[in-house]
Structure 1
Amino acid sequence: MSGLGLIINGKRVATAESFDVINPATEQSVAQCPQASQAHVDQAVAAARAAFTDWSQVDDQERKAAVHKIADLLEEHAVELTRLITQEQGKPLQGFAGLGSEFELAGAVAWCRTTAELDLPVKVLQDDETQRVELHRKPLGVVGSITPWNWPLLIAIWHVIPAIRSGNTVVLKPSPFTPLATLRFVELANQVLPAGVLNSVTGGGDIGSYMSAHEGINKMVFTGSTATGKKIMQGAASNLKRLTLELGGNDAGIVLPDVDVDAVAMGIFATAFINAGQTCAALKRLYVHEDVYEPLCAALKAIADSTTLGNGLDTGVDFGPVQNPAQLKIVESLARDAEQQGGRFLSGGHAPQGPGFFFPITLVADVTDGCRLVDEEPFGPILPIIKYSDIDDAIRRANNNACGLGGSIWSSDIKLAAQLANRLECGTVWINNHAAVQPNVPFGGVKQSGFGVEFGSEGLEEYTSIQSVFIPK
């Protein structure tokens, strides 16, 4: 395919250079992506700053209507967008449990519509015979967004829609691995939005670093690795930018001895391997009580053995490839280390021959803390299964990690599970589920999984500053 370009100030902008976008299932080029320069970033920021003057003053109902129109356009172009996602990211169109590109597109629409209906009303803090004091929420200005390669369209929506809904303007940089669906989204949104409200630039880490330190950007929103988040934070110090950082996660799930193995096995499997494990909030460390350890291992193996791996454009494919060769190398390295540590491979373990960055669904039993596969975030289709005997010890081990994005408790005793959930050091805890985020529920991490929240009214507030207004009587 061809024809996508940067959008700056409402117009398509050509670039002198471009780069290949590779289909991870075939290792063939899908398209040429324009390569932005620092000058393009400057132009995009200037356009966004100019547009902010009017957009920040637009009637709230008008901004709400614009977001709904963007959702309409996403639905109208669903087939085009989902194919782009599959070609550049690798996830199947439908996939295991229906969690593929079509699911991503549906999520993007849902987040648009829910965010459109959020409000930030004026709060009255005091109203007596002497004065009235009001608390107003005001947009920050220009928001810089850097999105990752695992859920390219959905996370772009997570960044962009609350920003424009609250009256900000945006400069958006997608991952160079997966820019295509995002660039198309920006084109579509510019059919609705005034020129300069939403602008796109492309490129690698050098463009992201330039954005992070740019004096004309008031806030950075980033989803990705903790290491990159720290660099963005350093750059943002130049003008004290606001930050929302959703960083790495190494989520632990704890299975209690009272669990019904047959009832939970599919849920555990689906939430561990959503997007082939390439999801920040996927279940990545599974602690299982010794009483149900072998039965659950057997149940998970049976599911893994029934799945198919392949090109996401083909019918009947459950899982696609790892998105890029660097990530595949990490997954393979962790598998080999687990093998040396005595891990028992229930399924998978080795990349198949042939084109594509494929790695099979891999379950590794009989590993424990101290093994790299347990301690490090794999971000791929491999899950360590760790045996425990004491629940207090399991919670201690689950918490003994630098990350704190999500966690889960799996049990037939919901009351007990809820009590234990409160002891987990993470931003979100699920009971008998994992990785299930909603547009009306705040989401964010603790420790080195970042700070700030997304979604819901709390997420919308992240794109605003407060202004207290004292009105004498």
Structure 2
Amino acid sequence: MSDKKTFHNIIDGQVQASASGAAMDIINPSTGAVYATAPMSDEHDVDLAFQASAKAFEKWRWSTPSTRQQALLKLADVIEDGAEELIAIEGENTGKPAHLTRSEEVPVMVDQIRFFAGAARVLEGRSSGEYLAGFTSSIRREPVGPVGQVAPWNYPMMMAVWKFAPALAAGCTVVMKPSDTTPASSYWMFEKMQDIFPAGVVNLITGDRDTGAALTRHKVPQLVSITGSTRAGMAVAKSAAEDLKRAHLELGGKAPVVVFDDADLDAAVSGISEAGLFNAGQDCTAATRVIVQAGVYDEFTAKLAEAAAAMKTGFDPADDDIFFGPINNANQLDHISGLVDRAPEHARVVTGGQKIGGDGFFYQPTVIADLEQTDELITTEIFGPVLTVQKFSDEDEAVRMANDTVYGLSSSVWTSNATTATRMSLRLDFGCVWINTHIPLVAEMPHGGFKHSGYGKDLSMYGMEDYTRIKHVMQHHGFEG
């Protein structure tokens, strides 16, 4: 008898296999071994899910904000109470260190769900008024409808929350597809949600890229949302455009981290090494493209390499010293190692630069210095534990280097000069600019980028508004005063 786990689709409140019976293997990235199977859903499964979603929407759309709030608050309590079980599942799902999932993800997810529970009751619009004599105009903010959502593999459970929580708070119904490599934690959450939300309000389908394509081109969803690569986002946008449905895209990044010579170097090294290597650098906001002023370049690079080399990788749920776990999958590991192996002759690998042998998909914490603006390591999203370091002379050059990218998600500035910090925050062309820090996020503030990093905001009231539509209601009453 096999001891492999089996995940399922959840459609209209029912746990079920794919209609065709097709399944896919799920690999534990810490061991490289298959530990579970999940449905390989096809267009028929997607259609069943959206039929259920559309049917449920006809009632859920009229649910009161209080009803939606109470459901989300109950879900937050369930996740909080089941935290240890979910942490163990995510460890097998992604290889993440348990202590960091416990401190950095579960409490944040719970807080974000509770934020959107409150947000359900405070949506605002323009006040009613007479903008034409004899008529009163008002604005209705309505749920956009059933939505299709695709979550990524780097933060499979937290990114799922970023998607379903605002959608449900707004009165939408959801069909979600987790990444084909990391369905476990989403499956756990969506199972729990069936006891909280009416049947068909939240549906889960698993599968590969073809499943995602079937989801985004289906006629029912009025909005499709994806967190993923720029390539995937462009495909979703193209598919959505063919049916004039909305697209919400949170895509790749290549965050510039600008360190001026008046910065607190020790604080900068600590903050940047942690923000660049957290989650093995598998973060679209990761602090990986470091641009340092010439006066402190050598000293900073040496300190950064020392800090990175001290970061421990591996997988042992009981080891609180492990800072990051494995790369998610073999293809991504090959992508990272290929970029480093192809580094130009003028590049200097200061520390790391190698796969770690044995089972699983592990890569050394790596710092590569002396890179030039046109190098592949600078222009390409690495999405791994690799920090690159470049040199600049003055502020204008730093701005040019920082903005010279197709991405526009996040950035940071490290300086003790408040005027420099303010000026840089204006000049950097990114959806977020951190000053003397990098990577903190809060539920109240939006997360989203420009250019090839996509459009649409996650978190905050802006994120919830994306799941609504605006209706103007005008009534003729004849009174002109």
Structure 2 CA distance for aligned equivalents of residues 14 and 305 of structure 1: 45
2:443 matched to which residue of 1?
Answer: 439
In structure 1, how many angstroms separate the alpha carbons of the residues matched to 2:134 and 2:370?
Answer: 70
Q: Is the partner of 1:433 in helix, strand or coil?
A: coil
Kept in 2: contact 1:266–1:303 (CA 8 A) = yes
**Which structure 2 residues correspond to residues 282-297 of structure 1 after superposition, within 5 A?**
282-297=286-301
Please state how far the C-alpha of 1:28 moved relative to its aligned partner.
1.3
Q: What displacement does 1:147 show?
A: 0.7
What letter is aligned with 2:422?
Answer: A
Does the 8 A contact of 1:337 with 1:371 survive in 2?
Answer: no
What residue in structure 1 maps to residue 349 of structure 2?
345
Correspondent of 2:328 among 310, 323, 326: 323
Aligned to 1:428: 432
Secondary structure of the structure 2 residue equivalent to 1:110? helix
Give the letter aligned to residue 200 of structure 1. Answer: L
Mapped partners of 2:103, 2:15: distance in 1: 27
C-alpha displacement of 1:101:
5.5
Equivalent residue pairs, number: 468
**Conservation of the 8 A alpha-carbon contact between 2:168 and 2:174:** yes
What SS does structure 2 have at the residue aligned with 1:138? strand
Counterpart position of 2:79: 74
Tell whether 2:32 aligns with 1:27. yes
Q: After superposition, give the CA deviation of every residue in 1:189-245 in whole Å (9 maximum; x if it has no partner).
A: 111000000001010010111111101111100000011111111111232111110
Which residue of 1 is the match for residue 54 of structure 2?
49
TM alignment of 1:2-151, pairs within 5 A: 2-15=5-18, 16-94=21-99, 98=100, 100=101, 102-118=103-119, 119-127=122-130, 130-151=134-155
C-alpha contact 2:83 2:102 (8 A) present in aligned 1: no
**What CA distance in whole angstroms lies between the structure 1 residues aligned with 2:334 and 2:98?**
25
The root-mean-square deviation of aligned C-alpha atoms, in Å, is: 1.4
1:391 to partner: Cα distance = 1.5
**What is the DSSP-based 3-state SS (H/G/I as helix, E as strand, rest coil) of the residue aligned with 2:10?**
strand
Question: Which residue of structure 2 aligns with residue 378 of structure 1?
Answer: 382
Change (3 A) 1:124 1:447: same
- Residue 178 (str. 1) matches residue 182 (str. 2): yes
Matches within 5 A, 1:403-418: 403-418=407-422
- Please give the secondary structure, in 2, of the residue aligned with 1:19: strand
- Counterparts in 2 of 1:212-227, with a 5 A limit? 212-227=216-231
Say which SS state the counterpart of residue 20 (structure 1) adopts: strand
- Residues 103-146 of structure 1: CA deviation (Å, up to 9, x unaligned): 22222111101111112134315247733311111011110000
Q: Are the counterparts in 2 of residues 92 and 319 from structure 1 also a CA contact under 8 Å?
A: yes
Paired with 1:195 and 1:242, the residues of 2 have a C-alpha distance of: 25
2:114 alignment partner AA: R
What's the CA shift for 1:357?
A: 0.8
Post-superposition Cα deviations, 1:356-394, rounded to whole Å, max 9, x if no partner, equal 111010011111211111111100000101111122011
Report the CA distance shift for 1:247/1:312 in structure 2 as closer, same or farther (over 3 A).
farther
> How is 1:300-311 mapped onto 2 (pairs within 5 angstroms)?
300-311=304-315
Worse overlay, 221-230 or 301-310? 301-310
Residue by residue over 1:339-371, the C-alpha shift from the partner in whole angstroms, topping out at 9 and shown as x without a partner, is x33222221111122111110100111112111
Among 253, 258, 269, the alignment partner of 1:249 is 253
Q: 1:466 maps to which residue?
A: 470
Q: Over residues 5-35 of structure 1, what are the superposed CA-to-partner deviations in whole Å (9 max), with x where a residue is unaligned?
A: 2110011112312222111111112212222
Residues 265-321 of structure 1: CA distance to partner in whole angstroms, max 9, x if unpaired? 111111111211100111121000011112211221222222211115241322111
Q: Aligned letter for 1:66?
A: A
**Is residue 204 from structure 1 mapped to residue 205 from structure 2 by the alignment?**
no
Kindly indicate whether the alpha-carbon contact (under 8 Å) linking 2:6 and 2:38 is maintained by their aligned counterparts in 1.
no
Q: Which runs of 5+ in 1 are unaligned?
A: none
Shift of 1:3: 4.7
* TM-score for the superposition, normalised by structure 1: 0.96
The answer on whether the counterparts of 2:373 and 2:401 sit within 8 Å (CA) in structure 1 is yes
Report the Cα distance in structure 1 between the residues aligned to 2:239 and 2:267, rounded to whole angstroms.
48
Q: Secondary structure at the match of 1:203?
A: coil
CA contact (8 A) 2:140 2:471 kept: yes
Give the aligned residue type for 1:326: N
Deviations 1:70-93 (A, max 9, x none): 111111111111111121212211
Shift of 1:328: 0.8
Q: 1:298 aligns with which of 302, 317, 320?
A: 302
Tell me the amino acid that sits aligned with residue 145 of structure 2: G
Q: Which 5+ residue runs of structure 2 have no aligned equivalent?
A: none
